[in-house]
Amino acid sequence: MAKTIFEEMGGTYTQVGDYLLPDLKLPEEDQQPIGVWGQRHWRYLKEHHRATYTTLLTSGKLNGHLADIDRQAEELFSRLVKQMAEAEGVTEQLKADNQMEWVGRVNNIRNRAMEIVNSELIYRV
């Protein structure tokens, strides 16, 4: 019996009942921790860009990609919050004088920064 192309490339089969199933496994990939930003991007890729998701997954680059996006998003978010707070005069003095106003303004800044990060990094391929 002639070898299949899969066998010629070094592939092997395992017999399960009456069927021969190819022995397939994904390439090894370093597992890095993925934060909230990376998880959001993972969900976006999986739901809206299946081809990109599958390509990254089968090439063994998905975890590294998500960790990189997570790191970039966290840095951008922190930088934006800091810059917006300075520009709008949200200081520790305001926190000491009027806590409720400070909380409202900081929440507003964080929400705007989150929208920017989402549109620039998370929901983009």
Q: How far apart are CA 78 and CA 101, in angstroms?
A: 21
Q: What is the pLDDT of residues 19-48, one digit of tens each?
A: 888 887 766 777 899 999 999 999 999 999
- Which residue has tokens 């520009």? 87
- Which residue has tokens 């840095």? 75
Q: In this predicted structure, what is the pLDDT of residue 122?
A: 96
Torsion (CA) 49, 53, 56, 60 in degrees, nearest 10: 180
Q: Identify any residues that bridge with 65 across adjacent strands, giving them in sequence order.
A: none
> Positive or negative, the Cα torsion across 53, 56, 60, 66?
negative
DSSP notation for 54-94: HHHHHHT-HHHHHHHHHHHHHHHHHHHHHHHHHHHT--HHH
Q: What is the pLDDT of residues 60-113, one digit of tens each?
A: 899 999 999 999 999 999 999 999 999 999 999 999 999 999 999 999 999 999
Q: For strand 13-16 and strand 19-22, is the pairing parallel, antiparallel, or unpaired?
A: antiparallel
